[in-house]
Structure 1
Amino acid sequence: MTEAELRLRPASSEARACKVCGAASPAFGTLDFNRSCEEARGRFLTLSGVAVQYRRCEACGLIFTDAFDDWGQADFEAHIYNDRYIDVDPEYAEARPLSLSRGLASMFAASADRLQVLDYGAGNGRMAQALRDHGFASVTTYDPFTPEFRTRPEGRFDLVTCFETVEHMPDPAAGVADLASFVADDGLLMIGTLLQPNDIERIGVAWWYIGPRNGHVTLFTHDALTRLLDRQGLRLVSQNANVHFGFRNTPPAFARHLFQSARIP
């Protein structure tokens, strides 16, 4: 396997513009294309011999690679989201969707029967099925990389969930804009993505969440994610390093109980 065969953009020592704020983003480190998040559990793929360069913004801290910027959907399906994807994300098919559905059912039990829900980047649709089992009356599934759920939905939704998806976006500004376009005026966006740790400069690309083979091409700081949502008129409140909410002005009534302890000016 070579860079040419994968159609990757070659590494460069020159700083590039940040994909969120436009500031200078020098090289941060390189990883083999087959580096996956499962290495944190001691599971390793055979090295591909192809290097993928990541950069880090000097202003908002975004970590990203432009190696895949020339790829289309067919490239991602051939080299990343293929029948071996389960090897690098074994929780993707069943464990994660079921866990997330239980969490959502706990959060929104009182309004599940009347919420219009969109699961954006939904993969195999398992979470939507589980949400219906938990009493959610209206759940729509959308994922451009899953043929069954590739049709773009119409309208806007009370609750838009987006778990383990934004880190897969090679164009985070366009991706988050598209995501936000589905959120109703009095709706709630819920994003699941792991933010960079405070000591990321020490850890570098050894951070386990940076995985080219997983398609993790954009890794956020709170600042970077805040900037993207702010452009779409959404305020960001993070529950923790992995769960983030976006809403306009104030939280919608069905979700207000989630923010009772949060300081929202």
Structure 2
Amino acid sequence: MCGSPRVRSRTITSAHFSDRTIRIVECRVCGFIGIPKGRSSYHDVTDLDEIRVRTSGTVRVGTHETPGREYQMARMAVDILARRDPVDVLVYGAGRSVDNVHIARLDGVDHVAIGDIVRLRDDADFVDVGRPSSGRRFHVVIASEVVEHFREPRADFDTLFSFVASDGLLVCGTNVYGGWRLSKDRYPFFHDHTAYYSPESLLRIATRAGYRIDFRPTGLSRGRKRYVLLSRSERVMSRVACYFGTRTYAPSEARPEPEPGTPRAPRRETS
């Protein structure tokens, strides 16, 4: 991840899943945990019903009836940007979620596209994210439970960044590793998880690509779930700080509404 040769490889058995053992490669400099695995089975999916979803008792994946996590992430991002002109939104790695339908109804949203490495739906504007963008950019890009599946994180993040406008906001949702015992952590043992990021490793990814970065908790997954907010724009990241100046948690399916009495982020003023 960071290019350091100071790495170690070891095998870990889960304390929660007796039949699950993984080999990891751990960087002693940036703290990144790589979990080498073969080609993702997602490339071979031909039907939405083949996509497995772990919901943990919450409505994580949006349905036509109920908005899910990606809707909440997009709602937050649109409020943070508070643009006077309508925004375009990309749901990166949409999978089974139909949150694009709910996002399209938000005030301030002009258009919503869904991006994936395989095309499984014909009911929305589709973007092939299996390769870098050829020029199309979005004000808001949402990547929920995506980056932990990256096989080549540096290259895969570069592809993800290529879809973000220069004054846009990227919101990734993932668990962030804090140095605890991995054998007691369920996250690295989940199916197809190949990258477990420390804050330092994500900071290095962001800095290398010219991005600023912020981390915000959601109240999910024993406090390890984070929204990772990234933008090239100093103004946008200042708005991120102001937005969370009055909020304890980022909105998610478990905490969908701002806390009582919390004002919206102020609209941008023009001279």
Distance 2:233 2:90 in 1: 21
More helix by share: 1
* Cα offset, 1:150, TM superposition: 6.1
In the TM superposition, what are the counterparts of 1:203-218 in structure 2 within 5 Å?
203-213=181-191, 215-218=192-195
Distance 2:42 2:140 in 1: 31
The match for 2:98 is: 126
Q: Secondary structure at the match of 1:124?
A: coil
What residue ranges of structure 1 are gaps of 5+ in the alignment?
1-18
Contact 1:20 1:172 (C-alpha < 8 Å) held by counterparts: no
Q: Which amino acid aligns with 1:102?
A: Q
2:4 is the counterpart of 1:22: yes
Distance 1:51 1:82 in 2: 27
Distance 1:26 1:82 in 2: 38
Q: Residue 164 and residue 112 in structure 1: after superposition, are their counterparts in 2 closer, same or farther (change >3 A)? A: farther
Q: Secondary structure at the match of 1:108?
A: helix
* Cα offset, 1:120, TM superposition: 1.1
Distance 2:54 2:228 in 1: 27
* Cα offset, 1:219, TM superposition: 0.3
Q: Residue 89 and residue 218 in structure 1: after superposition, are their counterparts in 2 closer, same or farther (change >3 A)? A: farther
Contact 1:121 1:143 (C-alpha < 8 Å) held by counterparts: yes
Q: Residue 209 and residue 175 in structure 1: after superposition, are their counterparts in 2 closer, same or farther (change >3 A)? A: same
2:29 alignment partner, one of 59, 84, 99 = 59
The match for 1:85 is: 52
The match for 1:138 is: 111
The match for 1:220 is: 197
What residue ranges of structure 2 are gaps of 5+ in the alignment?
218-224, 246-271
2:215 is the counterpart of 1:238: yes
Q: CA RMSD in A?
A: 3.4
Number of aligned positions between the proteins: 222
The match for 2:68 is: 98
Distance 1:192 1:75 in 2: 19
Distance 1:261 1:92 in 2: 23
Distance 1:157 1:251 in 2: 17
Identical counterparts, % of pairs: 20
The match for 2:173 is: 192
Q: Deviations over 1:110-153 (max 9, x none)?
A: 54970111111111241212211334321111011453346346
Contact 1:196 1:221 (C-alpha < 8 Å) held by counterparts: yes
In the TM superposition, what are the counterparts of 1:5-16 in structure 2 within 5 Å?
none
* Cα offset, 1:89, TM superposition: 7.1
